[in-house]
Amino acid sequence: MSDKGFFCGNNTPQDPANLTDSEKKHMPVIDAPDEVTAGEPFKVSVKVGEIAHLMEEAHHIQWLDFYFGQNFYARVDLTPVFTAAEVTVSLVRHGKGNHELGTLRVVERCNLHGQWEATKEIRVKK
C-alpha cells in the first residue's frame, strides 16, 4: 500500500495554488517546524481553514487527527458553538536515521462536507 492509499478518501485541493472557496474553508492550515529533534516534543498548530470554518450546531468541524506517515499520533474532538476550529498539540517524533524526512498529515472532518487533509514534510534530526 502506498503512503497515500490509506488516506485516499480524503479531500485535497484540485489546484493547491488556486484554492476554491470550499477548499479555503476546509483545508487544514498547518503551522509546524521544518525540522525537529528526535525524542523532543514540538508544537503543531492547525486551523481550519484559511477562511475560518463555521462552528455552529448544524455545520461544524468534528475532529482533527494527526499522523506521521500512516502512524496515528493524536485526535482532538471539537464541540460546536463552544470551540473554534483551531488546535495546538505537542508531538514527539522518533527518527530512525540521521536525518529522516517524514510527512505530518492532518485530517479534519466537517459534519457536512467530509474529510479534508493537508500535509507538511518535517525533517527529524538525531
- Do 110 and 63 meet the contact criterion of CB atoms below 8 Å apart? no
Rule CB under 5 A: choose which of 32, 46, 110, 122 binds Fe ion.
110
Asked whether position 48 contacts Fe ion by CB under 5 A, the answer is no
- Do 9 and 97 meet the contact criterion of CB atoms below 8 Å apart? no
Q: Which is nearer to Fe ion, 85 or 104 (CB)?
A: 85
Rule CB under 5 A: choose which of 113, 115, 120, 123 binds Fe ion.
113
Q: Which is nearer to Fe ion, 110 or 124 (CB)?
A: 110
**In the bound complex, what is the minimum distance in angstroms from residue 52's beta carbon to Fe ion?**
11
Q: Which three cell numbers stand for residue 70?
A: 500512516
Q: Which is nearer to Fe ion, 12 or 70 (CB)?
A: 12
Strands, E assignment, the chain = 28-31, 35-37, 41-48, 61-68, 71-77, 86-92, 99-110, 114-125
Using the rule CB under 5 A, give the single segment among 8-16, 69-77, 87-95, 105-113 that binds Fe ion: 105-113
Cell 458553538: give the residue. 81
- Do 12 and 116 meet the contact criterion of CB atoms below 8 Å apart? yes
In the complex, the residues that contact Fe ion under the rule CB under 5 A are 110, 112-113
